[in-house]
Structures are given as structure tokens and as C-alpha cells.
């Protein structure tokens, strides 16, 4: 469980994180390591200043930042990666990279329709699905392929799945059971998401925002897409990693 009220140890105490991180391989030296430490410290500082968050917020952090927060009792410890998973040159675990590669053509197609960078849409799918590792499932375990967390309202004619979820009302975090749309494949999820944004005037502010993830997130939140007050910040953090190639 997250503990956003825990004291944040800055300065020299923070530097202890270096003890648990090996120097990068492939010719990287002390300069690269120092830059990594600066990035990690900034991520942790931003996380604390924003009041922590749920598991989605943690997923948006660099692996080193997640490790530091876990040691402070401020985030759940990450499950160990299988030895065969490995870390790719872009710094992502192999399963995360495989997820992004699988949805890349869908993100590109939908991005063209919406006027939004494919990297931003891929980041949103990663945020909503836990990089494809925490999908919304039917009661029998089947994947709904709902990559964007779209709920099944009264007008929805397709399949659905009811699961426990977290919502925010007036800043308060509440747990409730909601119905979510179910698709037969990820392509359906992307196409339905595109239609949702194009056909609903509430989301016009998110359209044609290109690479501007802040403008895109602002358009979504103003339209009421998500109740999490940190949704935009989480999305921006993941998108920044994808756009930078880190």
C-alpha cells in the first residue's frame, strides 16, 4: 500500500539509491550514471510533491525510482522480472516493449484519425492496462481487450465486464463496481476509442494536439474522461519516456 504521508529523505540519504543500481552496460560511464541519478531524484521528488498515487502512478515511474519508493515504504515492491525478460536498450522491460510493438500500428492508425501522436496513445493504453499486464477481464478470465478503460454506458450494445475500480469524487478516493466495454481484439478497442473522442464534443480539446501531451491530457480531463486528479501527470510521464526513447 502506498504511504504518501511518509517522510521523504532528500540529500545524502537519497544518494543511497545508487547502492542498488548497477552501472549501465554497453560503454556507459559515470556521466551517464550521474544523469540517471538526477532523473530518478526528479521523478521521486515530483511523485512526493504530487501526493503519491495509486499503482498506475507507480507504473509511470522509472524502475530505479520505483525501487527507491518501495524501500521507503511509499510504493509496493515491484514483482521480480523473469530472468529471461531482460531490459531493452530503451530501458523498458521486454514485456513492456513487446506490448508497445504489438499496438504500434493501431496507435499510428488512430493517431492519424485524432491528430494525436501515436506515442501518446500508446502511453495511454500502457497506463490504463498496466502495460498490458493488468487487463480488464471477464468473470471467466477472458481478456476484454479494453485498453482505454472505457465504461459500458446504457447505450453500449456490445459485451461488457463488471469489475471493482477506483474513482475520485471531490478529491476523495472511492472503490466501486463498474461495467466496462469488452472487445474481441485490441483493434476494436482502438477504433472504438477513436470514435468516442471524434463523436463526443466534450473531447474536442484533445483532438489535433499532436505531440503536446499536456494539451491532450487537459482535453481529456476537461471532458470528464477520468476522475483521477493525477491522470494527466501519469500520462505525461509515460509519454515523455516513450517520446524520448528512454
45 and 151 housed in the same domain: no
- Return the pLDDT at 60: 52
157 and 101 housed in the same domain: yes
- For the stretch 54-108, pLDDT in tens is 554 555 555 555 655 565 555 555 444 444 445 555 578 899 999 999 999 999 9
140 and 221 housed in the same domain: yes
50 and 152 housed in the same domain: no
CA–CA separation, 196 and 174 (whole Å) = 25
53 and 122 housed in the same domain: no
Active site residue 167: yes
Which one-letter DSSP state was computed for residue 4? T
CA–CA separation, 5 and 74 (whole Å) = 8
Q: Is residue 80 part of a domain?
A: no
Q: Is residue 85 part of a domain?
A: no
Q: Is residue 157 part of a domain?
A: yes
Q: Under 8 Å CB-to-CB from 4, ≥6 apart: which residues? A: 48, 51, 52, 53, 74
Q: Under 8 Å CB-to-CB from 156, ≥6 apart: which residues? A: 181
- Return the pLDDT at 67: 59
Give the residue numbers spanning the domain of 106.
Answer: 94-244
Q: Give the chain's length.
A: 246
CATH number at residue 186: 1.10.530.10
**Based on C-alpha coordinates, what's the Rg of the chain?**
19
116 and 198 housed in the same domain: yes
- Taking a C-beta distance cutoff of 8 angstroms, is the pair 103, 125 a contact? yes
| Catalytic choice (140, 192, 212, 228) | 192
64 and 152 housed in the same domain: no
65 and 105 housed in the same domain: no
Q: Is residue 137 part of a domain?
A: yes
- For the stretch 7-40, pLDDT in tens is 334 444 444 444 443 333 334 444 444 554 555 5
The least confident of 17-31, 123-137, 165-179 is 17-31
Active site residue 128: no
pLDDT, average across residues 203-208: 97
- Taking a C-beta distance cutoff of 8 angstroms, is the pair 128, 119 a contact? no
- Return the pLDDT at 224: 92
pLDDT band at 138 (very low <50, low <70, confident <90, very high): very high
pLDDT higher than threshold 90 for residue 238: yes
Q: Is residue 3 part of a domain?
A: no
16 and 122 housed in the same domain: no
Write out the three cell numbers for 210: 499532436
| Domain count within the chain | 2
Write out the three cell numbers for 103: 499496438
Q: Is residue 1 part of a domain?
A: no
Q: Is residue 139 part of a domain?
A: yes
CA–CA separation, 148 and 133 (whole Å) = 13
Q: Is residue 84 part of a domain?
A: no
101 and 221 housed in the same domain: yes
Q: Which of 161, 157, 156 is nearest to 146 (CA)?
A: 161
60 and 115 housed in the same domain: no
| Catalytic choice (32, 101, 167, 246) | 167
Write out the three cell numbers for 199: 463523436
31 and 114 housed in the same domain: no
- Return the pLDDT at 32: 44
Amino acid at each position: 500500500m502506498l504511504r504518501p504521508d511518509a517522510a521523504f529523505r532528500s540529500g545524502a540519504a537519497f544518494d543511497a539509491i545508487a547502492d542498488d543500481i548497477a552501472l549501465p552496460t554497453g560503454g556507459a560511464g559515470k556521466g551517464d550514471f550521474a544523469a540517471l541519478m538526477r532523473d530518478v531524484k526528479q521523478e521521486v521528488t515530483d511523485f512526493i510533491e504530487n501526493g503519491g498515487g495509486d499503482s498506475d502512478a507507480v507504473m509511470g515511474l522509472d524502475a530505479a525510482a520505483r525501487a527507491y519508493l518501495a524501500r521507503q515504504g511509499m510504493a509496493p515492491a515491484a514483482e521480480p522480472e523473469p530472468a529471461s525478460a531482460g531490459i531493452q536498450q530503451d530501458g523498458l522491460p521486454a514485456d513492456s516493449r513487446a506490448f508497445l510493438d504489438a499496438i504500434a500500428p493501431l496507435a499510428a492508425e488512430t493517431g492519424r484519425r485524432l491528430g494525436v501522436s501515436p506515442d501518446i496513445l500508446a502511453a495511454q493504453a500502457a497506463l490504463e492496462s498496466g502495460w498490458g499486464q493488468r487487463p480488464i477481464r471477464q468473470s471467466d478470465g477472458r481478456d476484454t481487450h479494453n485498453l482505454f478503460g472505457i465504461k459500458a454506458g446504457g447505450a453500449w450494445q456490445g459485451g461488457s465486464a463488471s469489475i471493482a475500480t477506483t474513482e475520485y469524487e471531490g478529491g476523495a478516493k472511492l472503490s466501486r463496481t463498474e461495467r466496462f466495454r469488452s472487445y474481441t481484439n485490441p483493434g476494436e478497442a482502438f477504433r472504438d476509442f477513436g470514435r468516442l473522442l471524434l463523436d463526443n464534443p466534450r473531447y474536442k480539446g484533445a483532438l489535433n494536439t499532436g505531440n503536446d501531451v499536456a494539451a491532450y491530457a487537459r482535453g481529456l480531463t476537461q471532458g470528464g474522461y477520468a476522475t483521477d486528479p493525477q491522470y494527466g501527470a501519469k500520462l505525461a510521464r509515460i509519454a515523455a519516456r516513450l517520446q524520448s526513447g528512454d
